[in-house]
Chains A and B, each alone.
Chain A
């Protein structure tokens, strides 16, 4: 593979922000990227992730902070001179140029000599397995093929940095999974530093070396997939990372970092992420796979048990996803190895270490994104 990354040591975003028309689209982003890293920018719509990417690309100006590569400022350089490759959400292929010419475009801008250009383009086409379609126009390609052209077009220039703006969101589910693996494979073999924007936490977790979770223009957490999956720092991040069970409860007892929380008869023991006192209002977050129905094969964990009434049962192959209702009327998503009868009362258990307890901050409706608002409506 002769496509190699142009090397740099580090990319630094210092206090990067963009405010426009009274709205703070992005605030105080601090991030250091090492060469070869795959970083995912993750968050609900409106969180500022695309803004961050476009600022990095030079398509939008910063209003605060600076971007440095190996200590040299990059944010004052025009987009066409930064040498970054970019893959757009809707591919943005040149509709009047063939696949080959699309990929060759960037090299022509750099005035790469013809023979070298031809061989590099051929290599890139082979890399994304589009040899048979090289002379076609984008209009004649399927969505997935167009996306592969977009990727080839970005990497053929051997850029210092590859920026991807939700490249998979327009593909259907199966293709999305395949392309995810493809992109990961490409990253591993080419070693190109990549910044990848997505709103799909599964995608981010599976592809990234590190994730940056954004909400409302602000960074919530930066960490490895493991850290974000197991130790979200606040309930927003937990909610976004798939902790579908969010329950408002009161603290009834505190033993070090283990707390007992309760809501009208629904009692659990969990781990407090920040110190809380008895009587405080908190929000517990539990992943559906961590909250299970007790059965002969599934014993009680950590002495943690409580009860709820079954409302929905879904078949999921090896297990069942069960929707239950707490005595207080809250809906929860749990797992079970058998199908309980709808309406019956079941015993639930969870490892206290996997019940994360966060302080409950009031939700300001005006800061919620459209998705969040809709979710809240449906969850009622």
Chain B
């Protein structure tokens, strides 16, 4: 049977769609259902974008007092921010609290999340307890810390009683107090997130590593950690944001004018006490900027990692 001749179709230019405008728009994702997005967009714009831009504008309108003191014209607010040590040091002071707290929360959550993977009696109860502090809130934690860990509190009394120390420890009204508060409120959050990421790793991958001769250290280092790392980075970022924003605790269990003079407190001082909205916005925005730098660094590091599927849902 001879091969039939095939008429080759003439190569055509890509034909223009003859569908109606409505359909062509729909192909690109634009149709009336987009209206569902409008309320959220409206809120985002009215309550976030606009005030934020307004705030930025405010930073360029320093009060005459500031202008006179720092003499940089329109940039006086920023000049004041960078040159006044009382204010500028708050960056370092806040970082000194937030970074260690966030690191601790993330790193400490890993072994706990691991141990709580297995089923055992009372697991649900324990998990609920670990998550409890999220509901307590910073103010209650602060009050509790003041009483429990104060010089007259049970903790010090107990340690004195059993002779471990001879003078009551100064655990509150300083950096340590704020650190406790950050850990109590931050750890459960980090733990929840990391547990969730951990359980998203397909268990048969670990089983495979086992059958290939890897003991638990090797499994952790070579298989689990690389797969967990992106989740750890995300958890760190979120925990860091929480810790960096510390505000009431710094005042209640910290040393507000001294070693725990965090940026949030400085911003509020300008806003509420000095009613200098320009300066307040300046500090607030610088706070956001510093934080963004840290987040950017972590995200850069994260982007060099494997972020694909870890097989969790099959």
Contacts and interface: CB of A to CB of B under 8 A. Distances in A.
Does chain A touch chain B in the assembled complex, meaning CB atoms less than 8 Å apart?
A: yes
Interface of A: 57-59, 78-86, 88-90, 92-96, 105-106, 109-110, 137, 139, 153, 157, 163
Contact of A83 (B213, B218, B227): B213
For the complex of A and B, 5 pairs with smallest distance between CB atoms? A106-B212, A96-B306, A109-B213, A92-B208, A92-B204
17 contacts: A59-B210, A79-B207, A79-B210, A85-B211, A85-B212, A89-B204, A92-B204, A92-B205, A92-B208, A94-B205, A95-B205, A95-B308, A96-B227, A96-B308, A105-B212, A105-B214, A105-B222
A293 to B, nearest CB: 37
Nearest to B219: A80
Instruction: Find the residue from A85, A94, A157 having the highest chain B CB count within 10 A.
Output: A94
Contacts of A84: 211
Contacts of A137: 306, 308
Contact of B211 (A79, A90, A94, A96): A79
A157 B308 contact: no
B227 A81 contact: no
Given A79-B210, A86-B208, A139 B309 contact: yes
A122 to B, nearest CB: 18
Contacts of B205: 92-95
Given A88-B208, A92-B207, A109 B226 contact: no
B214 A109 contact: yes
Contacts of B311: 90, 92, 95
A109 B214 CA distance: 6
A299 to B, nearest CB: 41
B213 A59 contact: no
Instruction: Find the residue from A79, A93, A137 having the highest chain B CB count within 10 A.
Output: A79
Contacts of A139: 308-309
| Contact-size category for B | 20 to 34
Contacts of A95: 205, 227, 306, 308-311
A105 B309 CA distance: 20
Given A137-B308, A139-B309, A94 B209 contact: yes
Contact of A94 (B210, B223, B314): B223
Interface of B: 202, 204-205, 207-215, 218, 222-223, 226-227, 306, 308-311, 314
Given A96-B306, A105-B222, A109-B218, A88 B209 contact: no
Instruction: Find the residue from B204, B211, B226, B310 having the highest chain A CB count within 10 A.
Output: B211
Given A88-B207, A96-B227, A80 B308 contact: no
A80 B310 contact: no
B24 to A, nearest CB: 34
A110 B211 CA distance: 12
A58 B213 CA distance: 12
Nearest to A89: B204
B309 A153 contact: no
Given A84-B211, A106-B213, 17 more contacts: A57-B207, A58-B211, A79-B207, A80-B214, A80-B215, A86-B208, A88-B204, A89-B204, A92-B205, A93-B208, A95-B306, A95-B310, A96-B306, A96-B308, A105-B214, A105-B222, A157-B213
Contacts of A157: 212-213
Nearest to A60: B207
B207 A80 contact: no
A269 to B, nearest CB: 51
Contacts of A78: 215
B271 to A, nearest CB: 47
Given A90-B311, A96-B226, A59 B207 contact: yes
Nearest to A105: B212
A80 B216 CA distance: 9
Nearest to B314: A90
Contacts of B202: 90, 92
Given A96-B308, A109-B218, A139-B309, A90 B204 contact: yes
A157 B205 CA distance: 17
A44 to B, nearest CB: 21
A86 B211 contact: yes
Contacts of B210: 58-59, 79-80
Contacts of B218: 109
